[in-house]
Structure 1
Amino acid sequence: MGASNAASTTVSNGSNWLKIVILALVILVSGYAVIVMYATGEYAFAILTLLIVSLGVYVFTNSKTYAHRYIFPGVAGMVIFIIFPLAYTIGISFTNYSGSNLLSLERVQGYHLRQTYLAKGGNYDFSLIKADQDRFKLVLKSELEPEKIFVSQSLKLWDAGEIKSRKAKPEDFPYADGGIQLRAADAVPEGEKAALREVISLRTHLQTLSATLPSGVDLSMSGLRKFAALRPLFSRLSDGVVLENGTIISDPNTLRNNQTNQLLRPNYYDGFYQYIDANGEFVGDALPPGFTVSIGWDNYWRVFTDKGIQGPFMEIFVWTVMFAAGSVFFTLAIGMVLGNLVQWEFLGGKAIYRVILILPYAVPAFISILVFKGLFNQNFGEINMVLEALFGIKPDWYTQPALARTMILIVNTWLGYPYMMILSMGLLKSIPEDLYEASAMDGAGPVSNFFNITLPLLIKPLTPLLIASFAFNFNNFVLIALLTNGGPDIIGATTPAGTTDLLVSYTYRIAFEGAGQDYGLAAAIATVIFILVGAMAILNLKLSKLDNKV
């Protein structure tokens, strides 16, 4: 008995130590991930990771929250994959985040500060002459006066592999601070000339060098075989500046153009650096790239006030509702009728018909869509060939809005009716045969039985699935993207918009197509879609409850 208790205690202690080790590893890995995310500016993801891990540690280490351990993974998944993306999207909708305003202010400022211009002093061709082992002499020749040659002392240069192994920073390189003094020479020193491949390997170090001519002009590397008198185009005025009219600009992000002596400041409304005049007013064009700034409700106002967005948005919204409702209606009607037919007792070969009718559901949707795209081709498609042979017409399926929408409904009905047929076949078996026998005694036929018995008894259990089908088709992005890509385009739209676009494909095109790639506007439209779909879902649920009460 004592030995058994000792063994049990040993196993329990081992299990506890294993839990402690796993918990410590989770905390260490997640802590490192949070630090990396924070260091790279991904503050939202860092906070989310910290919150989820901290809550998880609390739940799994506290005896009072023992029962919550089983639902925590589900809750964490909902937060990570539903709540956080939704909140992140809503946050983006209040900014000017776009293809031209991707970066933060700090990164845009750093980009401008790295710009250079060619100052007085000219360009020089350079070569490296090998001295002892890994040491080189830098030789410069003036482009305008090739007879002028300048040579440096013997230099120790690090290649890319040595820099990586040393984890060196530019300030750690030899000669990074003091620079190099060049002297005039009559001829190029004797020695082996470094090949271009070796120059490329040494490029990181060479770019940190500052070579000074006897005249006092400083040169730096401007190409794989060039040194030039490059100067920073912009410099930061961290203490602000006083303008000619006495106005004090205290913004520490103000920059000065060292070539023209003009001042430029970040325009916090447009999200770009822009030059200012003597009165501190913004003038001239904005300097790309832009940075992300908060613009309040502007994106939402654009949706409802900009004619180039409002008109297409409302047209696409109406078509989206019609498409989703039409898809549900046609797939239900055809699926229910076919489900009744294959269950008909006088029909022979039912099994064969069932297999044939269910086949469209077995084929991957994207294959069927691409097949139909070829079938509906205006010039070479089989559908137009048949229509031309029978009726002498060749419809423009992809250029006429009405025909394009009709084509989409036809294809989606083909893809969706097998699902409804399978559901109907299963539900038909639950209807008592007594009802049909009593109806037959009253003289009712098959059509009357369908509308008076079958349809009412099938619709009620199908209602939740019809709501789900409506929601799926409301966001049926794959069908639109593969079949028409939203075309034909809506005339007068200021954003990418087509007559067959659904709201989801319209949002995608705004975000990822066109020159602007307006993510902020796309996020605002996505938020509006969420509100609309949520409202319709709540309305459907309330209507379903009312039907149940009746």
Structure 2
Amino acid sequence: MSHSPTETELVTTDPKRARRQRQARGVADRAGGGVRSLIIKIAALGIVDAIAVYAVLVLVGFGEWGVIAIVVAVATLVNWIYFSKRTLPAKYLAPGVIFLALFQVFVLLYTGYVGFTNYGTGHNGSKDQAVSALMASALERVPDSPAYPVTVVEQGGELGLLVTSPEGDALVGSDEDPLQSVPDAGFDGDQAISAPGWETLMFADVLERQGEVVDLAVPYSEDPNDGALRTSDGSVAYQYTSTLAYDEATGDLTDTETGTVYRDIGTGAFTSDAGDELLPGWKVNVGFENFTKALTDQRLAGPLVYVTIWTFAFASITVAATFFLGLFLAITFNHRRMRGKRFYRSLLILPYAIPSFLSALVWAGMMNQSFGFLNNVIFPGADIPWLTDPLMAKVSVLIVNIWLGFPYMFLVCTGALQSIPEEITEAATVDGAKPWAIFSLIKLPLLLVSLAPLLIASFAFNFNNFNVVYMLTDGGPRDSDAPIPVGHTDILISMVYKVAFTGQTRDYGLASAYTIIIFVVVAVISIIAFRRTKSLEELNG
């Protein structure tokens, strides 16, 4: 009866296979490394584990238990991968996957999470932090407060007060941490002057940081209603209590002077019955409120519409202009009779070799209406508002972006043209085809087969081309009628930047919602475009 040979029989009867197996085992053993490699591996994993332990300790303070579980799981998986002999492929894949998850996936997920919150100016921290900040902002000195001798101390760049109580005990605290007992404090007479882990500031240092010392409010205890200690000279402190009283049972704040009660109604801020809010508030989930606001708020609808139209026009015109200009130059410098091709090609790629933000700054200087090179040299005596008129600013942004983008299209079109077989052109010429027919019916379709994905990628890039707009015009000239700091040359991504990082109120939640909308728009356009370009693949058949 016949049977399938076992692995041992194959090794015995097939010398070539046995040799390959020995070579494979040798490669695996070398990949596992000797003592030196093991030491390096342990040292590297030690660094990774130390970072993981530090991250866990930090996250414990914030109560981020879900993130802690992920950090522990990833650290455990990494250790198992690099100590196991059966996970050779994973040893090479793990670093790339981790960096991809950290710098791409996590960023996208966190942006999506922020889009569903009210995170922004006045809503940055937790509810406890908001309560502390509000009560600290309403502190008033207690009339009969005893004088507490204090010493200004510092720990990790954070100022604190080393306090001597009337009973002679040493207490230390900072803006964030209430007073705590210091059993091993150093005394000079009856006043505590040093505490373990804290650096005592000299008198000259206190004077230099007088503003920080005066603003320092050290909570008296864990109960915010007990007030805080403050000092005006760095030597004596007095107890201050807030005119706001916090009720932990109901979660309400009461203004003791007016009797107004501010309640937590779920909007991330204490709100009175009359609708008045106390800021700062705290971060809460708001569902689809940011998306609804971005698309339906009448104050934002106008700027959003014309910025979106300009963004599509900016990306479309740029891609079309750079492609046809690059293709024209590629055809010109690909001609057999053209001399000095290398020299001219080197000149043409100079804009591509210079960083775009530097080029945009140079162009901004040349387009200055009063002192720019264009108005003073190219158009002597002209007063062209290149960057201050809404229409001319758009034209200027397009000119600069096309100047920056055509070298790339020139390079890829040159390579694509050189890959088209000469026999096709020669056959068409023999059949009597005219040059335009050869180009439009043969060369251009063949070019689009390879260049269509690049054109789609170029459109997506220019749709979010922040550098040129920010460096050249900063989105200006400003639209004074818009409720957000948006200008006539702003594209969606620069508008998102201004919503998030400029102005008196910074709304990260709304900006994240806009970012998600941009992502969806670009993704849909790219999917549709890629499907439409599949018809071009038939030319390869």
Q: Given the two structures, how large is their TM-score scaled by the length of structure 2?
A: 0.74
Following superposition, the deviation at residue 480 of structure 1 comes to 0.7
1:31 pairs with 2:41 = no
Per the alignment, residue 40 of structure 1 pairs with 62
Alpha-carbon distance in 2 for matches of 1:518, 1:449: 55
What are the Cα deviations for residues 209-241 of structure 1, in whole angstroms up to 9, with x where unaligned?
A: 99xxxxxxx996531166556334344323x3x
Q: Is the 8 A contact 2:253 2:270 kept in 1?
A: no
Gapped regions of structure 1 (runs ≥ 5): 1-7, 129-151, 182-193, 211-217, 241-250, 276-281
Per the alignment, residue 321 of structure 1 pairs with 312
Q: Is the 8 A contact 1:105 1:291 kept in 2?
A: yes
Paired residues, number: 467
Q: 2:231 aligns with which of 202, 210, 222?
A: 222
Per the alignment, residue 170 of structure 1 pairs with 179
Per the alignment, residue 272 of structure 1 pairs with 269
Alpha-carbon distance in 1 for matches of 2:397, 2:418: 33
Q: Is the 8 A contact 2:178 2:219 kept in 1?
A: no
Following superposition, the deviation at residue 79 of structure 1 comes to 1.8
What are the Cα deviations for residues 145-184 of structure 1, in whole angstroms up to 9, with x where unaligned?
A: xxxxxxx9996879x9xx99xxx983324899xxxx9xxx
Q: 2:143 aligns with which of 120, 123, 128?
A: 120
Per the alignment, residue 488 of structure 2 pairs with 499
Alpha-carbon distance in 1 for matches of 2:51, 2:344: 57
- The one-letter code of the counterpart of 2:346 is V
1:525 pairs with 2:514 = yes
Q: Is the 8 A contact 1:122 1:229 kept in 2?
A: yes
Q: 1:425 aligns with which of 406, 414, 430?
A: 414
Q: 1:76 aligns with which of 77, 83, 98?
A: 98
Per the alignment, residue 398 of structure 1 pairs with 387
Q: Is the 8 A contact 1:404 1:500 kept in 2?
A: yes
Cα distance change on mapping 1:198 and 1:302 into 2, 3 Å: closer
The secondary structure found in structure 2 opposite 1:71 is helix
- The one-letter code of the counterpart of 1:75 is V
Task: After superposing the two structures, state which structure 1 stretch, 374-383 or 468-477, moved more.
Answer: 374-383
- The one-letter code of the counterpart of 1:498 is G
Alpha-carbon distance in 1 for matches of 2:356, 2:217: 55
Alpha-carbon distance in 1 for matches of 2:178, 2:142: 27
Per the alignment, residue 159 of structure 2 pairs with none
- The one-letter code of the counterpart of 1:39 is G
Following superposition, the deviation at residue 433 of structure 1 comes to 2.5
- The one-letter code of the counterpart of 1:92 is V
Following superposition, the deviation at residue 327 of structure 1 comes to 1.1
Task: After superposing the two structures, state which structure 1 stretch, 522-531 or 483-492, moved more.
Answer: 483-492
Cα distance change on mapping 1:420 and 1:16 into 2, 3 Å: closer
Following superposition, the deviation at residue 301 of structure 1 comes to 0.7
Alpha-carbon distance in 2 for matches of 1:209, 1:412: 55
Q: Summarize the alignment of residues 119-158 of structure 1 with structure 2, pairs less than 5 Å apart.
A: 119-121=142-144
Task: After superposing the two structures, state which structure 1 stretch, 83-92 or 24-33, moved more.
Answer: 24-33
What are the Cα deviations for residues 113-158 of structure 1, in whole angstroms up to 9, with x where unaligned?
A: 4452124349989999xxxxxxxxxxxxxxxxxxxxxxx9996879
Alpha-carbon distance in 1 for matches of 2:184, 2:348: 79
1:100 pairs with 2:109 = no
Following superposition, the deviation at residue 524 of structure 1 comes to 0.5
Alpha-carbon distance in 1 for matches of 2:317, 2:205: 68
Per the alignment, residue 523 of structure 2 pairs with 534
The secondary structure found in structure 2 opposite 1:49 is helix
Q: Summarize the alignment of residues 406-445 of structure 1 with structure 2, pairs less than 5 Å apart.
A: 406-441=395-430
Following superposition, the deviation at residue 47 of structure 1 comes to 4.5
Q: Is the 8 A contact 2:246 2:253 kept in 1?
A: yes
Q: Is the 8 A contact 1:439 1:449 kept in 2?
A: yes
- The one-letter code of the counterpart of 2:240 is L
The secondary structure found in structure 2 opposite 1:313 is helix
What are the Cα deviations for residues 242-299 of structure 1, in whole angstroms up to 9, with x where unaligned?
A: xxxxxxxxx2x22344555554333421x22244xxxxxx236322211111111111
Q: 2:113 aligns with which of 85, 88, 91?
A: 91
Q: Is the 8 A contact 1:95 1:520 kept in 2?
A: yes
Alpha-carbon distance in 2 for matches of 1:42, 1:265: 26
Following superposition, the deviation at residue 66 of structure 1 comes to 5.0
Identity of aligned residues (%): 33
Alpha-carbon distance in 1 for matches of 2:527, 2:150: 74
Q: 1:237 aligns with which of 244, 247, 263?
A: 247
Note the aligned Cα RMSD (angstroms): 4.1
Q: 2:354 aligns with which of 363, 386, 395?
A: 363
The secondary structure found in structure 2 opposite 1:429 is helix
Gapped regions of structure 2 (runs ≥ 5): 1-28, 152-164, 191-200, 221-226
Per the alignment, residue 450 of structure 1 pairs with 439
The secondary structure found in structure 2 opposite 1:120 is coil
Q: Is the 8 A contact 1:511 1:522 kept in 2?
A: yes
What are the Cα deviations for residues 40-78 of structure 1, in whole angstroms up to 9, with x where unaligned?
A: 355565354234324434544566655444323332222
Q: 1:303 aligns with which of 267, 272, 294?
A: 294
Cα distance change on mapping 1:267 and 1:222 into 2, 3 Å: farther
The secondary structure found in structure 2 opposite 1:70 is helix
Per the alignment, residue 473 of structure 1 pairs with 462
Following superposition, the deviation at residue 105 of structure 1 comes to 0.4
The secondary structure found in structure 1 opposite 2:374 is helix
Q: Is the 8 A contact 1:175 1:209 kept in 2?
A: no
Alpha-carbon distance in 2 for matches of 1:209, 1:336: 69
Per the alignment, residue 13 of structure 2 pairs with none
Following superposition, the deviation at residue 490 of structure 1 comes to 3.5
Cα distance change on mapping 1:378 and 1:22 into 2, 3 Å: closer
1:482 pairs with 2:471 = yes
- The one-letter code of the counterpart of 1:532 is V
Alpha-carbon distance in 2 for matches of 1:13, 1:434: 61
